[in-house]
Amino acid sequence: MRHIFIVNPHSGPKDITETLKAQLDALISNDPVEMYVTNGPGDATREVRRRCGETQEELRFYACGGDGTLNEVVNGAVGFAHAAVGDYPCGSGNDFVKYFGGKRFFLDLNNQLRGEAKTIDLIRVNDRYSINVVNIGFEAKAAARMVSFRRFPLLRGQRSYYAGVAATLIDGMKNRCRIQADGEEIVNGPILLSSIANGEYVGGSFRCAPRASVDDGWLELVIVSPISIMRFANMIGMYQRGEHLDAPEMKDCLKYWRIKELEVEAKKNFMVCLDGEIIEGNHFKISVVPQAIRFIIPEGAEHTGKGVDIEAEKA
């Protein structure tokens, strides 16, 4: 077995390359451990795919960055039975690991090397894959703007997401599209937002899919109809805590399904967000891919269904 840490030096508040290298050099392991530093967007996918194609040796790839880096590593490893994917969360959001208790388990390298590789589902969007959550509407627009705000030192981390949300209040409250779920038309008009989830969290602290399970062969679909900015502001707290699905005050504007596949049609340049990565188009086929990839769960990490301590995650 070979352990390969794929490092995105531009993810998170600072470059962790040298710090992580020192920690890896100090590890005592019977298996080879190495590090690869990416040189630009898409490089993690290409490197993982290249390595998987060159050997049948058991490979474990650890995405060292944020959810976007994890997305790239997943897209490189999917389809290779001898590859497993892990996450060393040192980016801005680190949302997927919250499903398994949060980043404190994943930042312990010894726990990582002793981890179990569990087979989980993925979300397919046209010819790409998502491990956590796919967003359309308001959240996709906010995520796209968040990337530009990260250039400013005072707007890094969680603050960049809030800045993206604030900017999107101007033009992101109504997003027109046509949506079919499992062959039935459920939307033909404007929506505020929609989440198609395998994991639980988006945006660093928002528990968009509290009933999600990463290995049950289903996707969680939430659609919120357009509402006023004032009402949206009142909703945010419930959304963060994962209380929105059962809130009486949300019944007239929120709908929830468990689905296998989804089809979205809209005008050109419609944004879809995959684990924080933005793609644009006018036709998207979204589906669950059961048991699609092996994900490394560090020793001690587990899914409790109770969510995580968001303040502890920020530390």
- Report pLDDT digits (tens) over 90-124: 987 899 999 999 999 999 999 999 999 999 999 99
pLDDT band at 156 (very low <50, low <70, confident <90, very high): low
Among candidate residues 47, 59, 55, the one with its CA nearest the CA of residue 7: 47
Where, residue-wise, is CATH 3.40.50.10330 in the chain? 2-121+291-314
Please state, in angstroms and rounded to a whole number, the distance separating the CA atoms of residues 267 and 197: 23
Q: Any bridge partners for residue 5, and if so which?
A: 35, 62
The per-residue pLDDT for 244 is: 97
Cβ atoms of residues 137 and 172 within 8 Å: yes
What CATH architecture is 130-290? Sandwich (2.60)
> Nearest 10 degrees: CA dihedral of 95, 98, 100, 106?
80
DSSP secondary structure letter of residue 182: T
Which tokens in the block code for residue 124? 């397919």
pLDDT band at 154 (very low <50, low <70, confident <90, very high): very low
What CATH architecture is 2-121+291-314? 3-Layer(aba) Sandwich (3.40)
Q: What percent of the chain has pLDDT over 70?
A: 93
- Report pLDDT digits (tens) over 183-216: 999 999 999 999 999 999 998 889 999 999 999 9
Cβ atoms of residues 65 and 7 within 8 Å: yes
Among candidate residues 160, 196, 177, 173, the one with its CA nearest the CA of residue 273: 196
- Residue-averaged pLDDT of the chain: 92
Residue that has been written with the tokens 């929506």 in this structure? 191
The per-residue pLDDT for 81 is: 97
DSSP secondary structure letter of residue 235: H
Q: Any bridge partners for residue 37, and if so which?
A: 7
pTM metric for this prediction: 0.94
The per-residue pLDDT for 73 is: 98
pLDDT band at 158 (very low <50, low <70, confident <90, very high): low
Please state, in angstroms and rounded to a whole number, the distance separating the CA atoms of residues 11 and 160: 13
Among candidate residues 185, 189, 210, the one with its CA nearest the CA of residue 262: 185
pLDDT band at 171 (very low <50, low <70, confident <90, very high): confident
Where, residue-wise, is CATH 2.60.200.40 in the chain? 130-290
pLDDT over 90 (residue 157): no
